Chain A
Amino acid sequence: MTNPARAPSRLHPAIVFAIICLCLALIIWLVSYAVPLTLAGQAYLLLIVLLAFRYWPPMIRWVASMPVTHRVVFGVLIGSMILGHYTLNGRTYFPYVVWEIFPFAHEDDPVTCREFIATTESGNKVRLLVEQLFPSIVQIGPLDGYSAETTEHLARVLAKAYNQQHPGDPVWRVDLMVMAVKLPPPAGESRAQPSCELLKRYDISSGQ
């Protein structure tokens, strides 16, 4: 005995999709009293993207062709990325992190940044950058986030690393400077360097 063929749906898939989107929007609006709107809104938009793929025939065919184990792997990999993003945590569950790049507007004016400027034996001025002297580190945190002791320790470590690479012209002194750039630039002023102010000076030549 064979099953009778299923009657085709009367609603166009686009209409079904629109109805689902509206229903989801309603749910998001309801839960937004309990969940922050930034989370609920992102979840809503992501669900729309996922739903579009869910109802796209080649994707249905591809997923249906997968053995169960492969479907589990696919689901775990994609699901973990999404869950990791919604933890809003960039460290604990690495590599499943929150994906935020330029996520908010800065209001800083002028824009400031602390930096180590070294003076070498021959009088040259050089920037001591952690990311260049220790290339394993992709990015270090802002220097104003560290204690005075840690900042001094870091200055000495960077000077030592620089001196190992440039034994002919070693660092004698490291200045912790705060660099500042105004937005917009002062009228008629042409800048060769950002304005800078000395915060602290570390004597390296004494070997302390």
Chain B
Amino acid sequence: MRASQTLRHLIGPIELLHEQAGPRLLRLTRLGIFALWIVKLLLDPLWRLAEMPRELFQPVGILALLPASAINELLTSNGLAALLVFTLGVLVLALTDKAFPVVATVAAVLLTAYSSLIRSFGPAVHTDIVLLLAVYALAGFAWADWIALKFGGKKSLPGASSYPLITIVAMLCLSYCLVGLSRTVAGGLSVFTGDTMEVWTIDASLRGYYFNTNIGWHVPEWPAVVFMLRSGLPFITLFEITAPLCLVSSHYRWIFIPVMFSFHLLSLLFMNIFFFDDMLLYLLLVDWSRRYPALRAPSHPERA
């Protein structure tokens, strides 16, 4: 009996994250996501890609559907600058909440084109994909709200603010879960038992990226770091596979956040890779509306 009580205490309350979220929290999330994209684009000298050798350009995603003449126009300094300025304009408009379904949909298309473009000169890396999918969720649920109110005969949608928030967290957790499942099943035991992590670390460190600590290739000389990397991979993979528990368990979230945050910081230190956008999306792993009544849905019974 006591053991089961202790176990229950350890597991903590099992409640759906953001179930009580109200319009204010959704509004803040929209502002945060679009503001983050604006900052990313403001820091990006996209027009300089016109100088890159065209032989390296292998179109990704929707860019492969464009005719060669359109790609040629796009890959000029003017074409790239126009895409950047137009996308920034639409993102700023999305901050105002005016005609949000239309503006968010245009923003989603433009950001997809932008994200595809910057990946067309190399591998389609996973950074900021969930941030892009978050824009899809905001746009998709804004249309769903509009349709339900216009054609569904409803006067209000009490739980509507929680839908995009829970979906964004679900997509973030699903991305981790798929990474973990893929590594476990496709890689098998050999990934976890050999020197996989040292090799990946040295490879990433030798290549160098935007952030460049230049220490990862020293890893084989440091037995303690080798031990940490080897033992850390199965540990992190377990957290990745069980990431969907973040949707339901606050106790799990308070373990998940520092563990994965440390993992991402170590990836930056030894491999020069940083998932900056995912780190900011971790803010959505906090159940703000349970802590602050002002962020709850007006009709929610627990609203103070």
When the two chains form their complex, are residues A67 and B154 in contact, meaning their CB atoms are under 8 A apart? yes
When the two chains form their complex, are residues A85 and B178 in contact, meaning their CB atoms are under 8 A apart? yes
Residue of B nearest to A132 (CB): B210
- The yes or no answer to A76 lying at the interface (CB within 8 A) is yes
- The yes or no answer to B160 lying at the interface (CB within 8 A) is yes
Query: Which of B52, B116, B220, B247 is in CB contact (< 8 Å) with A134?
Result: B52
- The yes or no answer to B6 lying at the interface (CB within 8 A) is no
- The yes or no answer to B140 lying at the interface (CB within 8 A) is yes
When the two chains form their complex, are residues A82 and B174 in contact, meaning their CB atoms are under 8 A apart? yes
- The yes or no answer to B123 lying at the interface (CB within 8 A) is yes
Q: Which 4 A-B pairs have the closest CB atoms?
A: A94-B61, A113-B206, A99-B178, A106-B199
Binds A, one of B22-30, B86-94, B190-198: B190-198
When the two chains form their complex, are residues A46 and B202 in contact, meaning their CB atoms are under 8 A apart? no
Contact A181-B210, Cβ < 8 Å, known A70-B144, A73-B141, A92-B64: no
- The yes or no answer to B167 lying at the interface (CB within 8 A) is yes
Point out the residues of chain B lying under 8 angstroms from A78, CB to CB.
167, 170-171, 174
Contact A41-B144, Cβ < 8 Å, known A62-B16, A136-B48: no
Interface size on B, residues (CB 8 A): 93
Residue of A nearest to B168 (CB): A77
Q: How far is the CA of A182 from the CA of B184 in the complex (A)?
A: 27
User: Counting chain A CB atoms within 10 Å of each CB, which of B64, B133, B144, B162 scores highest?
Assistant: B144
Query: Which of B124, B129, B202 is in CB contact (< 8 Å) with A183?
Result: B202
Q: How far is the CA of A112 from the CA of B300 in the complex (A)?
A: 59
Point out the residues of chain B lying under 8 angstroms from A53, CB to CB.
244, 247
User: Counting chain B CB atoms within 10 Å of each CB, which of A42, A70, A113 scores highest?
Assistant: A70
CB distance from A104 to the nearest CB of B (A): 5
Q: Contact flags (1/0) for A78-111 with B, using CB distance below 8 Å?
A: 1001100100001111110111111111101101
Contact A102-B197, Cβ < 8 Å, known A111-B206, A134-B48, A140-B122: yes
Residue of A nearest to B135 (CB): A95
Q: How far is the CA of A46 from the CA of B108 in the complex (A)?
A: 28
Q: How far is the CA of A161 from the CA of B47 in the complex (A)?
A: 13
CB distance from B1 to the nearest CB of A (A): 19
CB distance from B89 to the nearest CB of A (A): 19
When the two chains form their complex, are residues B19 and A62 in contact, meaning their CB atoms are under 8 A apart? yes
17 other contacts beyond A59-B16, A82-B178, A106-B200, with CB at 8 A cut-off?
Answer: A38-B185, A67-B154, A77-B171, A85-B178, A93-B61, A95-B133, A97-B129, A99-B182, A101-B183, A111-B206, A127-B212, A132-B208, A136-B45, A141-B56, A181-B220, A184-B220, A194-B206
CB distance from B84 to the nearest CB of A (A): 9
Q: How far is the CA of A130 from the CA of B122 in the complex (A)?
A: 10
When the two chains form their complex, are residues A138 and B122 in contact, meaning their CB atoms are under 8 A apart? yes
Query: Can you give 9 A-B contacts (C-beta < 8 A)?
Result: A66-B163, A70-B145, A73-B137, A77-B136, A108-B199, A111-B203, A130-B122, A137-B122, A153-B53
When the two chains form their complex, are residues B206 and A179 in contact, meaning their CB atoms are under 8 A apart? yes
Q: How far is the CA of A157 from the CA of B49 in the complex (A)?
A: 11
Q: Contact flags (1/0) for B136-176 with A, using CB distance below 8 Å?
A: 11001101110110001010010110110011001100110
Contact A42-B152, Cβ < 8 Å, known A58-B248, A181-B202: no
Q: How far is the CA of A59 from the CA of B247 in the complex (A)?
A: 10
When the two chains form their complex, are residues A77 and B133 in contact, meaning their CB atoms are under 8 A apart? yes
- The yes or no answer to A208 lying at the interface (CB within 8 A) is no
Taking CB atoms and an 8 Å cut-off, the chain B residues in 201-245 that contact chain A are 202-203, 206-210, 212, 217-218, 220-221, 233, 241, 244
CB distance from B20 to the nearest CB of A (A): 11
Q: How far is the CA of A183 from the CA of B218 in the complex (A)?
A: 10
When the two chains form their complex, are residues A103 and B210 in contact, meaning their CB atoms are under 8 A apart? no
CB distance from A170 to the nearest CB of B (A): 16
When the two chains form their complex, are residues A137 and B16 in contact, meaning their CB atoms are under 8 A apart? no
When the two chains form their complex, are residues A90 and B123 in contact, meaning their CB atoms are under 8 A apart? yes
When the two chains form their complex, are residues A91 and B124 in contact, meaning their CB atoms are under 8 A apart? yes
Residue of B nearest to A101 (CB): B179
Query: Which of A37, A69, A94 is in CB contact (< 8 Å) with B116?
Result: A94
When the two chains form their complex, are residues A141 and B206 in contact, meaning their CB atoms are under 8 A apart? no
- The yes or no answer to A65 lying at the interface (CB within 8 A) is yes
Q: How far is the CA of A98 from the CA of B163 in the complex (A)?
A: 25
Point out the residues of chain A lying under 8 angstroms from B76, CB to CB.
none
Taking CB atoms and an 8 Å cut-off, the chain B residues in 255-277 that contact chain A are none
Query: Which of B116, B141, B191 is in CB contact (< 8 Å) with A103?
Result: B191
Contact A111-B182, Cβ < 8 Å, known A73-B140, A78-B171, A154-B56: no
Point out the residues of chain B lying under 8 angstroms from A157, CB to CB.
51-53
